Amino acid sequence: MVEHGYDRKKLEEEFDNLPEASPIADIDPFKGDIIATVGAIALDYLDLCGEDVLLDIGTGRGRWAVAAGAHCKKVIGIDISRRMIEDARLNAESSGVANVEFYRGSFEDPSEEVDLKTKGINKVIAIYSLHHLTDPMKSEALTKLVSLIQRPGVIVIGDIMWFDNPNNHRDEWSEVYYDDNETDHPASIDFIREVFEKVGADEIEIVQVHPLVGLICARFL
């Protein structure tokens, strides 16, 4: 694998120009691919209820934000791509979901367009988005997310993450939508777990969906 640096502009351009048929930009939470599988598990682990305020970071076209809207008080979707945010708003409108808000933002600056600390967020989901950050940036981003949530709170990450050496599974990279390009920086599950331990998670659960994809749920009591 080649080590790449983080390039936000390149990442924005990639998502601004995703084709409609791209599985990364799909709006169907029940499609059945690896992203839908890990997303459905993540929603279950959130255990949403009527008083919850959910932050969906890396929301894309609002796939999980819209799906979660019926199960909680409010959902706030954040994405770095202006096009994705515009599409997400249309997705919510066409789905008849009125309690979902979308803003431009990033893991580096989630409050770029809205002060998230005023929103009463107690749960966070990130599906197939964290892997775009380098490991040091992941550590910083997760620390910021922890600072945003009220207790008791939950952060659930469903993403490409290494449970095994990825070179042992090269023939499966395409099925998990990983191609070692300049905007992909997956981490090992051990690294992500250690970050959550350092930021004070009280409970951590890990689910392996694939040797290269899984879920980590961190609870703050």
pLDDT digits (tens, 9 = 90+) for 136-160: 999 999 999 999 999 999 999 999 9
- Burial of 9 by CB count in 10 Å (0-12 exposed, 13-18 middle, 19+ buried)? exposed
The pLDDT, as a whole number, for residue 21 is 67
Residues of the chain with pLDDT under 70: 1-5, 21
Homologous superfamily, domain 8-12+29-220: Vaccinia Virus protein VP39 (3.40.50.150)
The pLDDT, as a whole number, for residue 9 is 78
The pLDDT, as a whole number, for residue 2 is 43
Q: What is the pLDDT of residues 12-44, one digit of tens each?
A: 777 777 777 677 777 777 777 999 999 999 999
Backbone φ, ψ for residue 152 (5° rounding): -70, 140
The pLDDT, as a whole number, for residue 14 is 76
The pLDDT, as a whole number, for residue 213 is 98
What's the CA gap between 208 and 213, in Å, rounded?
Answer: 7
Buried b (16+ CB within 10 A) or exposed e, 74-86: bbbbbbbbeebbe
